[in-house]
Structure 1
Amino acid sequence: MRRRMPALIPHAVLILAILLFALPIWIAVAGSTQDSAAIARGEVSLVPSLSGLGVYRDVLVNGSAGAGPVWRSLLVSAAMALAIAFGKIALSLPSAYAVTFFRFPFRMTAFWLIFLTLMLPVEVRLIPTFQVMSSLDLINSFTGLTIPLVASATATLLFRQTFLAVPDELVEAARMDGAGPLRFLRDILIPVSGANIAALFVILFVYGWNQYLWPLLVATDPKLDTVVISIVKMVGVDTATEWNKVMATAVLALIPPVAVVLVMQRWFVKGLTEGDK
């Protein structure tokens, strides 16, 4: 019995953590199928009502007071998250390759300038970034919504650390085999970094999906509302808040990032745990 006690404690803590994380999600699922007035009074049952499942079709097609159809917001969020994820990887990969394997003047200065941007909070960059987007006439455009979020010092740093672990013998072998810079990147470095790319894609997709402050600032056109903006617009409108629709939209907003994590779970864990190549 005494031997079993140390093993039971971490399991109990894990179960408690799961309940703490899962309970709000379950309340949203159950509340989305119930009457909005009852939710406003705090009378939320933990048992979902099957007769209220039609609210999901309602918010997808018609939306709610203050917000348009949720299907459009989901598409905007998905397109934004994919553009940010692919854009960050496509920009960070060659950037890290350049500062790791090429020797040019002020190479490390360039790297440290990139790294120092990690020290700047997003809020500090909002006003100058907005000014640049306004000067380029990119306000209320999908380009203005995504391009400022593509540059990533974090991804560049992670790729650089991966490239530094590549053995010098492998670099010399590729050079003796006649591999040029592009071939070395394509045939050796990208396959070696496959797990890291997958892990970064998951992290960056969730990062792009959850964006709130920048879309709120740069996109005032309702057609460019992300699902996070739609949820905010549903709350606090002039009419009574339809809490069942708010909760249904929140549940729908959870599905795509959770699906991405589940589909890419194996590569995600591998990329986080395999630091050395």
Structure 2
Amino acid sequence: MGRAALLIVNHKKPRAVEAADEVRTLIQKHARLVGEMRSADLPDTVVDIYQDARLDLIVVLGGDGTILSSARACLALGVPLLGINTGKVGFMAGYELSAFRRDAASLLGEGPLATHEHRTLSCEVLDASGKPKLRSLALNEFVVTAGPPYRMITLGLTIDGQPGPTVSGDGLIVSTPTGSTAYNVSAGGPIVAPGVDATIITPIAAHSLSFRPIVLHADLPVDIAVRSVNTIEESGTTLLIDGQSSVRLAEGDTVQIRGGSERVRFVADPRVGYWRTLLSKMHWASAPTGNITELER
């Protein structure tokens, strides 16, 4: 009979739409297609509709952003997610379309699935009176960003209940190992393998030569006291969640970040592996090249 599968497609990406017919046909051939959804419809509907469907697999067609939003929206279903890259880099996608085509009978039938668990982060934002203004979960990162008009902001960092430094700069990134290859690495933070129980804190343009990224055990609580912010109409200092949603921050707010109890399971191509993906898609430690032919054209 095969696995019971849900197909999620990002209809804003032409490559995802083009691939959907083939992927749908493969699912119908080797498995049972329980339903199909547009990625834009996920946040309010997917769990309510499919919580009793006994899904075995969620197949996602899109890029890293689509996979991120799908993973968060479907987390309560507790079902492994198989991403097929139809975006640009597709670092989070476990399969390219050609590899999925090759392995479809096993993946969609009753063959073994190579799955990897990825940690999450949870966050609660309290206002100056201690009243909650947001509770959220992230797979990649939470980012406190200065925002317009882009003056430096001031944040107080507390780790495991112990007061730490006062941070002046453009903000802070608190990421999971999964998110370490995203905004974190662009800001100079370390790459941390997904299986490591860690939280990474990386400053954004810190006004200090000695503030370096740090790696903590994932169980240690991180509190960020918002001491000064940027404020203009409908914008200003903001907390970003996986780069996809946000909430405005005010002076006196506290951002409390903890290691999440939830885990996301991703299906990965066992022929590839994390380090090979890091080399091929992120060009990790690539040597300089002297070939300027393309630049001269």
TM-score (norm 1): 0.24
More strand by share: 2
Q: Which has the higher contact order (CA 8 A, sep 6+)?
A: 1
Bigger Rg over Cα: 1
TM-score (norm 2): 0.22
